Amino acid sequence: MADQQTRILPVHRLSKVPANKSLAEWWADENSKGTAEASAVIEASEALRSSDIPVGFPTETVYGLGADATRSAAVQGIYKAKKRPSDNPLIIHVDSIEMINRLLNPTTTTTTPSTKIPAIYEPLISRFWPGPLTILLPNPPGSLLAKEVTANLPTFGVRMPSSAFARLLIHVTDRPLAAPSANASTKPSPTTAQHVYHDLKGRINLILDGGACGVGVESTVVDGLSSPPAILRPGGIGIEEIRACPGWENVQVGYHDSALQHGKEAPRAPGMKYRHYSPKARVILFEAGSDLPSITGRVKQDLLGTGFSTETRRKIGIVRTRKWPVTIALTPDAELAQSAESQSQEVLAEDESNGVSAVRIREVSVLLEEGIGATVYDIDLGSEAEAIARGLFAALRSLDELNVDAIYIEGIRDDEGDLAAAVMNRIRKAAEVSVAI
């Protein structure tokens, strides 16, 4: 793919459908005003219909890299831009149930479809759509979808995003959009337009900037075509929430937290096979409940060892959630920690002014034994799963930009429902080492 001139167009104002208006009514009103945002939507929709170069756009989960799901050349553009393996299926995004019915009934000309969404999904659709939930549907004979979307599987994944802007873009384009996360393959998922630009500058032409994403991890993927039904990828909808729906009480977990890098079968859903969400640095995960003194000892031992970019100065990142203290007690100097707190406020303010997902970074200098010093970049994501999910990918990207050699992460329990399982799934896929002490 030749180098492209990549532009970012702001669409922040189009984040909410006006009360009592359909997508069609909202767009007619916006388009009639000739706003800059309307021009951005028109340019993006025309590119999606006619170009083979994908478009970056915001959803409530992460930024997506969109292409017309009905055109092979357009979908191939996604794989080229991301450098993504072609046996990794893509999720389709739609603006309405009617658009799904058109996909299920490619040869039907009447308004009443002969093939309908399986009844098992009705409770989930009623409760969670629009939202961060993807369902697997049978791909019909004569499918309108490009074969590259399904990776030669007999099913396709589809969701209706709760992001008002995402649905508006799909509505104006009038095409189902294949849209994996808008990052370079295996890298942390993007939660801001700047993250997309960092990864895909020169590979795509257009990024629509709707601000930071609210959920922060990708959608939950479920398979209701199997018996019992299965969760293929944890995400924005919690497992216990799904089990509370009729017909889903016995839903099974059908994914592995470690990447199945050597599996020969094509994955049934995105995120099931290859290593994902990984920064350049080595990631060491400490499972929830690990003993703090032992953790500190392990980190100090690592810092005194080899494998760092310089002989006498180490750079590491520490991502805290619920129990670890600042820099996990690598330095007892309270005055130094207070100075680092002041510096972190400046970093936070700078991040917000640039429209980047704000993560508080404390920079602390530590003098170790044998004349070895270390710079520790400390990030506190908070104790709530929602906050951890929103900040996780931004934290990994921020530490990558600081060129740390290793990242130590405090895990949380993954049996707490909500987003906890999704958070730990993403961290385990990013981690080179998972430690339970």
pLDDT in tens, 164-181: 999 999 999 999 999 999
Domain final residue pick, 208, 237, 253: 253
User: Does residue 18 fall inside a structural domain?
Assistant: yes
Closest by CA to 135, choosing from 146, 120, 145, is: 120
The percentage of the chain sitting over the pLDDT mark of 70, rounded to a whole number, equals: 86
Q: What pLDDT score does 3 carry?
A: 67
Place of tokens 């310089």: 310
Q: Is the dihedral of CA 384, 385, 388, 390 positive or negative?
A: negative
Listed range (74-78, 106-110, 380-384) with the worst mean pLDDT? 106-110
Instruction: Band the pLDDT of 146: cuts 50, 70, 90.
Output: very high
Do residue 94 and residue 207 come from a single domain?
yes
Residue 185 pLDDT more than 80? yes
pLDDT for the residue numbered 126: 97
Query: 334: phi > 0 → left, psi -120 to 50 → alpha, else beta; which?
Result: alpha
Are residues 94 and 37 both part of a single domain? yes
What percentage of the chain reaches a pLDDT higher than 90?
54
pLDDT value of position 49: 98
Q: Which of 75-84, 102-111, 220-229 has the lowest mean pLDDT?
A: 102-111
Instruction: Residue 190: give the domain boundaries.
Output: 7-253
pLDDT at 107 over 90: no
190 lies in the same domain as 297: no
Together in a domain, 393 and 290: yes
| Segment 232-275, tens digit of pLDDT | 998 888 888 999 999 999 999 888 765 444 445 555 665 555 55
Quote the CA–CA distance of 176 and 124 in Å, as a whole number: 20
| Radius of gyration in angstroms for the set of CA atoms belonging to the chain, rounded to a whole number | 22
Q: What are phi and psi of 393, to 5 degrees?
A: -65, -35
Q: 45 or 304: which carries more pLDDT confidence?
A: 45
* 205 and 316 inside one domain: no
What mean pLDDT value characterizes the chain? 86
Q: Using the 3D structure, point to which of 207, 237, 253 is the last residue of a domain.
A: 253
pLDDT band for position 77 (cuts 50, 70, 90): very high
Query: Over 50: is that where the pLDDT of 349 sits?
Result: no
pLDDT band at 337 (very low <50, low <70, confident <90, very high): very low
Let me know if residue 265 belongs to a domain: no
Residue of higher predicted confidence among 390 and 52: 52
The CATH number for 383's domain is 3.40.50.11030
Tell me whether residue 271 is in a domain. no
Question: Within a domain: residue 266?
Answer: no
Q: Do residue 50 and residue 161 come from a single domain? A: yes
Per-residue model confidence (pLDDT) at position 325:
86
Of 234, 253, 272, which residue sits at a domain end? 253
Question: What pLDDT shows up at residue 277?
Answer: 64
Give the tokens for residue 420: 């906890």
Q: Are 407 and 385 in contact (CB under 8 A)?
A: no
CATH code of the domain in which 210 resides: 3.90.870.10
Q: Is residue 17 part of a domain?
A: yes
pLDDT for position 276: 58
Contact yes or no for 393/62 (Cβ under 8 A) = yes
Report if residue 259 sits inside a domain. no
State whether 239 and 287 are in the same domain: no
- Cβ count within 10 A of residue 206: 22
Looking at residue 433, its pLDDT comes to 76
- Does one domain contain both 294 and 216? no
- Are 288 and 249 contained in the same domain? no
- 420 and 335, same domain (yes or no): yes
Q: Which of 395, 355, 393 is nearest to 9 (CA)?
A: 355
Mean pLDDT score, 192-196: 94
CA 225 to each of CA 33, 118, 119, 120, 139: distance values in angstroms, whole numbers, following the listed order: 45, 8, 10, 8, 12
What integer pLDDT is reported at residue 331 of this predicted model? Answer: 60
> In 3D, which of 257, 278, 387, 258 has the Cα closest to residue 322?
387
> Is residue 56 in a domain?
yes
Q: Are 247 and 253 in contact (CB under 8 A)?
A: no
Structure confidence at residue 176 (pLDDT)? 98
Residue 239 shares a structural domain with residue 302 = no
Q: What integer pLDDT is reported at residue 180 of this predicted model? A: 95
Same domain, 69 and 31: yes
* DSSP alpha helix (H) spans, 304-333: none
pLDDT tens for residues 362-408? 888 887 776 788 888 999 999 888 888 888 888 998 898 899 999 99
Neighbour tally for 47: CB within 10 Å: 21
The number of distinct structural domains making up the chain is 2
Taking a C-beta distance cutoff of 8 angstroms, is the pair 248, 230 a contact?
no
Which pLDDT value is given to residue 219?
93
Relative to beta strand 91-93, strand 177-178 is: antiparallel
